Amino acid sequence: MQPSAARVRAFEPRRATLLDPGTHALFLDVDGTLIDIAPHPDAVRVPEGLVGLLGSLSTRFGGALALVSGRTVARLDALFAPLALPAAGVHGAEIRLDAGGPVTSAVPPFPERLRQGLNDLARRFDGVFTEDKTCAVAVHYRAAPDAGPLLGAEIAALVEACGRGYGVLAGQMVFEVKPEEHDKGSAVAAFLTQPAFAGRTPVFVGDDVTDEAGFLAARAYGGAAVSVGRRLPDVDTVLPDAGAVRDWLAGLAAGTVR
């Protein structure tokens, strides 16, 4: 779903930091945004108090808070248990539109030939590994940064040989092979049709180029984008790191900042 032209308008430079819990909706990336990046996806640590903070924020924003991540929704639930927030996983390929509701996915099974090809490719490089997300596969190379250019070229060739329907999303030291028809922007649009989010101004917070579709969707619907750690295209505000994001969200939850 695309926003109507009537809803597209200009943005004030500091708009992202001026939030009203009664009229705004928060869309939050996870790795590098809410929690610090780790060498391996399984090695991340959820800071003490973050689960309670997200629960308080969700209540303060009337349920208009969603996680929008490259992780699966099941993995998000495991990280933030006992919370089960509205969430989009695998860059929008999975979605749970309301807290505690069912997780849906309309994507076909990941092609086994492509999965095997990516696994075989990763085994050729020391420090490179795959993360199987069922409907997508991520190839991580944080421990082998020099491998990036060759990995990217060979992954692109594997995807092209597989045929249509899948694309490569390059992030920070990772290549995600995922269904082309879904991204974080399509997830934002889907949430904005739901009662808790409808009519609210979206604010998307993320740290990577994989979040750019979310940034664009938030801005297209009259909202704002916040990048973390660096200034990415199409953002209104930059926060220095995940710790600063948590501090900002704590202030929002307490009503001491807007």
**186: CATH:** 3.40.50.1000
pLDDT at 258: 66
36 is catalytic: no
Which of 142, 161, 179 is at the close of a domain?
A: 179
Asked whether 88 and 27 are in contact (CB, 8 A), the reply is no
Same domain, 42 and 147: no
pLDDT at 94: 92
Q: What is the dihedral of CA 140, 92, 204, 254, to 10 degrees?
A: -90
Same domain, 68 and 98: yes
pLDDT at 32: 94
Distances in whole angstroms, Cα of residue 106 to Cα of each of 109, 230, 235, 246: 10, 33, 30, 33
Locate 10 and state its tokens.
Answer: 């200009």
In this structure, is residue 25 part of a structural domain? yes
Same domain, 241 and 118: no
Amino acid (one-letter) located at 57: L
Distance of CA 240 to the CA centre of its chain: 18
Pairing of strands 129-132, 137-140: antiparallel
Distance of CA 257 to the CA centre of its chain: 24
Instruction: Give bridge partners of residue 174 from the DSSP assignment.
Output: 140, 171
Same domain, 102 and 118: no
Residue ranges for the chain with pLDDT beneath 70? 1-18, 258
In this structure, is residue 2 part of a structural domain? no
Same domain, 186 and 126: no
Catalytic hit among 20, 29, 31, 208 = 29
Long-range CB pairs of 69-72 (<8 Å, 24+ gap) are 69/29, 69/30, 69/31, 70/31, 70/133, 70/138, 70/171, 70/176, 70/210, 71/30, 71/31, 71/41, 71/133, 72/133, 72/134
Asked whether 152 and 168 are in contact (CB, 8 A), the reply is yes
Asked whether 122 and 130 are in contact (CB, 8 A), the reply is yes
Same domain, 188 and 164: no
Asked whether 128 and 150 are in contact (CB, 8 A), the reply is no
Please count the structural domains in the chain.
Answer: 2
Could you tell me the residue range of the domain that residue 173 belongs to? 112-179
Indicate the pTM of the whole model. 0.83
Q: How many residues are recorded in the chain?
A: 258
In this structure, is residue 169 part of a structural domain? yes
Q: Which CATH number covers residue 172?
A: 3.90.1070.10
Same domain, 211 and 170: no
Same domain, 153 and 94: no
Same domain, 200 and 244: yes
Q: Rounded CA gap, 225 and 182, in Å?
A: 19
What digits encode the pLDDT tens for the residues 9-21?
Answer: 222 333 334 689 9
Q: Rounded CA gap, 144 and 146, in Å?
A: 6
Q: What is the dihedral of CA 88, 92, 98, 99, to 10 degrees?
A: -10
Q: Rounded CA gap, 137 and 175, in Å?
A: 8
